[in-house]
Amino acid sequence: TKKNLIINVKFKNSIITGGAGFVGSNLVDRLVSIGHKVIVLDNFVSGKKSNLSHHSKKNVKIIKIDISDKNLDKYFKKADYIFHLAALAQIIPSFKDPNKYFKNNVIGTLNVLKSAKKVKIKKLIYAASSSCYGAPKKFPTSEKDKIDLKHPYAATKFIGEELVMRYASKFKMPNISFRFFNVYGPRLNVSGQYSAVIGNFLSQTKTRKPLTVVGDGKQTRDFIHVDDLINAFIQVIKSKSVNKIYNLGSGKRTSINTIAKIFGGKKKFIPIRPGEPKNSVANIKKIKKEINWKPKISIEQGIKKLLSN
């Protein structure tokens, strides 16, 4: 009936830290499309205003703030869902400035948890990293496999996850941690030397430069399209699952040479990056089973889609 319809159209309020970044802004788009009111908290260090410029103030409130040195209580008051994606995200730079990584990624997460704990949220989702597995011995790697923290970035993201899970058990918070594998898609950062391979290849293709392949290019990664990743976020907030850690990848391994081949064009081999794993691929049995999600976009489709934009 009409009355029921009106009652059902109650807005959900979502907070997204890091909402102006690559994954964050794609999540904002999806949440707005399903009727959420969104508050973005972002310090705009790597996030960009232009990633959100297509939204109206009515649906998306943008607040420039550093979550690691501010009390966040006032922003969380009406929150139904909190998506904590804000972080410094590059490996090599984390060796140079571990303090900065610790402040952003650990203290930042603690601030989010402290304020989230005071309100009755439906779910809090943390963006963790598959870098916690270091150079894994088992493939595909499951959530139960060994943790091996090889650099400050991995360490800070893992401590963040530990905090999220401890708050979940100690204070009965409805927290979820997703361990991201290699996410790609529209708005992927292309900030140079240390940015993600698909972002680099995309800008190199557009500027007709050779594709910079690290090492022999035979190393493999698990590439997941951001639309598939966002589907998992939507599925998990609909599910009853709480206090859980899930790998979030495609479950498929692809070599860098294969990625270069899909892009086409010339290759240029550049020196290997110290300490990076040779191979990485997610075991995604747990997430498939427990939240009824599966990846749908193949790497070929995903890259073709990027190239056609």
Point out which residues bind ligand UDP (CB under 6 A): 182, 196-197, 200, 212-214, 219, 221, 256, 273, 276
Treating both helix axes as pointing N-terminal to C-terminal, what angle do 108-116 and 152-171 enclose, rounded to 10 degrees?
10
Q: Which is nearer to ligand UDP, 52 or 202 (CB)?
A: 202
Residue 131's Cβ-side half-sphere holds a number of Cα atoms within 13 Å equal to: 25
Q: Nearest distance from residue 270's CB to ligand UDP, in Å?
A: 7
In the complex, the smallest distance separating the C-beta of residue 265 from ligand UDP, rounded to whole angstroms, is 13
Q: Which is nearer to ligand UDP, 180 or 233 (CB)?
A: 180
Beta carbon of residue 152, minimum distance to ligand UDP (angstroms, whole number): 14
Q: Give the residue with the Cβ less far from ligand UDP, 200 or 283.
A: 200
Using a 10 angstrom Cβ sphere, with 0-12 exposed, 13-18 middle and 19 or more buried, the burial of residue 94 is buried
**Which one, 241 or 279, has the nearer CB to ligand UDP?**
279
CB 89, min distance to ligand UDP, A: 9
- Please list the helix, strand and coil fractions of the chain in percent, rounded to the nearest 5, in that order: 40, 20, 40
Compute the distance between CA of residue 118 and CA of residue 254 in angstroms, rounded to an integer: 43
Nearer to ligand UDP, 67 or 211 (CB): 211
Neighbouring residues of 137: CB distance < 8 A, sequence distance ≥ 6: 145, 146
CB of 195 to ligand UDP, least distance (A): 7
Dig out the tokens for 286 from the structure: 């747990």
- Closest approach, Cβ 212 to ligand UDP, in A, equals 4
Q: Which is nearer to ligand UDP, 52 or 188 (CB)?
A: 188
- Which residue type is seen at 15? I
Full 3-state SS string of 54-76: CCCCCCEEEEECCCCCCCCHHHH
Q: How far is the CB of 65 from ligand UDP (least distance, A)?
A: 27
Q: Smallest gap, in angstroms, from Cβ of residue 68 to ligand UDP?
A: 22
Beta-bridge partners for 178: 127, 246
**Can the peptide bond before residue 140 be classed as cis, meaning omega within 30 degrees of 0?**
yes
For ligand UDP, give the closer residue by CB, 112 or 256. 256
Q: Which residue is nearest to ligand UDP (CB)?
A: 214
| Cross-strand partners of 62 | 40
Based on CB atoms, which residue is closest to ligand UDP, 163 or 224? 224
Please work out, in degrees rounded to the nearest 5, the angle formed at the alpha carbon of residue 133 by the alpha carbons of 127 and 139: 115
What is the number of other CB atoms lying within 10 angstroms of the CB of residue 10?
A: 8
> For residues 142 and 251, what is the distance between their CA atoms, to the nearest angstrom?
10
Bridge-partner residues for 184, per DSSP?
A: 225
